[in-house]
Structure 1
Amino acid sequence: MDYSFDGSGGYRVPTGVVGLDVQLGGGVPPGTTILLLAEPGAGMEVFAHQFAYGGLLNHEDVFYFSSEHPISEVLSGMDYFNWDVRKHLEKGKFDFIDAYSPRFYNVLPKQLVSGVSAKDFLKRGTDSLNLLKGTATEARTTKYRGVVDSISYFLRSYELNNVLNVIEIISSMGKATGAVHLLLMTSGMHESIVENNMKHICDGVIEFRMKERGSEVEHSILLRKMKGMIVPNRTISYVITNKGVELETTTRVL
């Protein structure tokens, strides 16, 4: 049975997750800001890495803004799935913005930060939310996509309205340039009013869910909303393989 979306037509930007792109009729509309909501262990980071690599394969520039992990962890995670982004880093097609390490420069022993580049050292003490805003509004001359890993850090550290204002700026930049942005958020970590604000302000909302069934853990995706599309009122099963996140070809209600 075909569960693909009844969209409004027009060009779609592929996410890089083939099964999801099939469900989306080819991808998401240009300029879409997507909220990915998932609990720990559901594969959120894998999806984010796959989304970033999908942009490179689609001949887009990609920025990956990380407030949760140093670049070594992100590259190691992508290496595991043979998503080689190092050559794209060298060519300037993949831009990693490290908002994680600067938070700890002043507390870690000097020998542990002695290898930090001069560029990153200058970020020491930089306000992370302003760094995100500056990254989002940076002038770019080619098509691109962005990943923010994760917005939960900002929701823990800043006033909600300040975070929402920056997300609105990210969304506005996407609509003006056609860029697609992916914002990661940990479910169950924030109050319901915070989650609802995030779901409201983003153009698309994808939820990764986990459910214990006997001795197994089943994973499913709920496409809660996507601008310009009618989303199905059912979940889509997925698994994580050595190819990344893969959606099952047969959709069933869990």
Structure 2
Amino acid sequence: MDYAFDENMAQKVRTGILGLDVQLGGGVPRGSTILLLAEPGASSEIFAQQFAYGGLTDEENVYYLTSEQPVSEITSEMKNFGWDIDDYIESGTMNFVDAYSLRFYNVLPKSYSESLSAKDFIKQNTDPMNLLKATATQERKEKYRGIIDSISYFLRAYELNNVVDTIEIISSVGKATGAVHLITMTAGMHDNIVENNLKNVCDGVIEFRMRERGSEIERSILIRKMRGMIPLNRTIPYNVTEKGIELETTTRVL
């Protein structure tokens, strides 16, 4: 079943990926926490960046906690897709939370540490998990969305129960504020118990899949669950273009 935009759209938050919003009936439910489970190479990081930019263009504040990439790489990749966020960063609408540098601060060249801002320098001895919790629970007066890219680092570095408890905190904050949180996770890196725990605690689960067919790679999205929505009974093909993630759908936007 395909979903079109309707009068309930006010209760939905657009993802920034038009074809996906159509399939979701206008977007994801307000206050939801979405797990994006993707195989390596399936372009989950592009989805996360597109989701962030979608929030900015919808006049939301965005925080983007990165544990897998330097901030400079993310901003450069976003510019390659035409998502220039310099002005948003300057205005404070887009806020990067750098957990990546915390992981490697003591082994990075001195020249790198000298380039850190005063704010990031103060955070150098902060535990990444505490940084994640502090970021998620920070009081925000404007409507916003949050991205955690990715939770796989935290699952490698901390006990599962600690990670699940933190996601429950993030989820409760989202429900209280109406904010949507996107949490990325690498498929196949963790055992089934870990994956099922995270699938259970999140309001929505979107899987990015890849398979080889002859000399081509087919990519598809499976909406495994979404709060308040009857799950689709099929996968949705997608491509990565110069505009980002684009779904192959003939659904007309009403």
The reply to whether TM is greater than 0.5 is yes
Q: Is residue 2:230 matched to residue 1:221?
A: no
C-alpha distance in structure 1 between counterparts of 2:191 and 2:176, whole Å:
31
- 2:192 equivalent in structure 1: 192
8 Å contact kept, 1:5–1:232: no
Spell out the pairing of 1:1-254 with structure 2 (5 A cutoff). Answer: 3-4=2-3, 9=8, 11-250=11-250
Note if contact 1:8-1:229 (Cα within 8 Å) is conserved in structure 2: no
One-letter identity of the residue aligned with 1:110:
K
Shift of residue 142, structure 1, vs aligned partner: 0.7
Distance 2:116 2:139 in 1: 26
Matched AA of 2:36 = L
Change (3 A) 1:98 1:236: same
8 Å CA contact retained: 1:5, 1:231: no
- Give 1:100's aligned amino acid: Y
**Preserved contact between residue 37 and residue 185 of structure 1 (Cα < 8 Å):** yes
Deviation for aligned residue 1:52: 0.2
CA distance in 2, matches of 1:8, 1:164: 34
> Cα offset for 1:7?
9.6
Q: Aligned partners of 1:65, 1:107: CA distance in 2, in Å?
A: 21
- Richer in helix (by share): 2
Q: TM-score, normalised by structure 1?
A: 0.95
Measure, in 2, the Cα distance between the counterparts of 1:113 and 1:6. Answer: 48
Deviation at 1:250, TM superposition (A): 4.2
1:173 and 1:57 map into 2 onto residues whose CA distance is 23
Paired residue secondary structure (2:200): helix
Taking the aligned partners of 2:76 and 2:24, their CA distance within structure 1 comes to 29
Q: CA deviation at 1:111?
A: 2.5
Q: Which amino acid in the other structure matches residue 24 of structure 1? A: L
Shift of 1:125: 2.0
Structure 1 residue 105, shift from structure 2 partner = 1.7
Given that residues 7 and 229 in structure 1 are in contact (C-alpha distance below 8 angstroms), is that contact kept between their aligned partners in structure 2? no
For residues 22 and 219 of structure 2, the distance between their equivalents in structure 1, rounded to whole angstroms, comes to 18
Deviation at 1:70, TM superposition (A): 1.0
Give 1:135 shift: 0.2
Following TM superposition, by how much is the alpha carbon of 1:109 offset from its aligned partner in structure 2, in angstroms? 2.6
1:139-180 Cα distance to aligned partner (Å, 9 max, x none): 000100000000000000000000111100000000000000
8 Å CA contact 1:68, 1:153 repeated in 2: yes
SS at match of 1:123: helix
The answer to whether the 8 Å contact 2:6/2:26 transfers is: no
Structure 2 CA distance for aligned equivalents of residues 11 and 120 of structure 1 = 36
How far apart, in 2, do the equivalents of 1:105 and 1:244 lie? Answer: 31
User: What secondary structure does 2:163 align onto?
Assistant: helix
- Unmatched 5+ stretches in structure 2: none
Q: Is the 8 A contact 1:38 1:208 kept in 2?
A: yes
Query: What's the Cα RMSD here?
Result: 1.6
Q: TM-score, normalised by structure 2?
A: 0.95
In structure 1, stretches of 5+ residues that fail to align are none
Shift of 1:6: 11
Q: Percent identity?
A: 64
Give yes or no for contact 2:32–2:175 (8 Å, CA) kept in 1: yes
C-alpha distance in structure 1 between counterparts of 2:250 and 2:7, whole Å = 24
SS in 2 for 1:154: helix
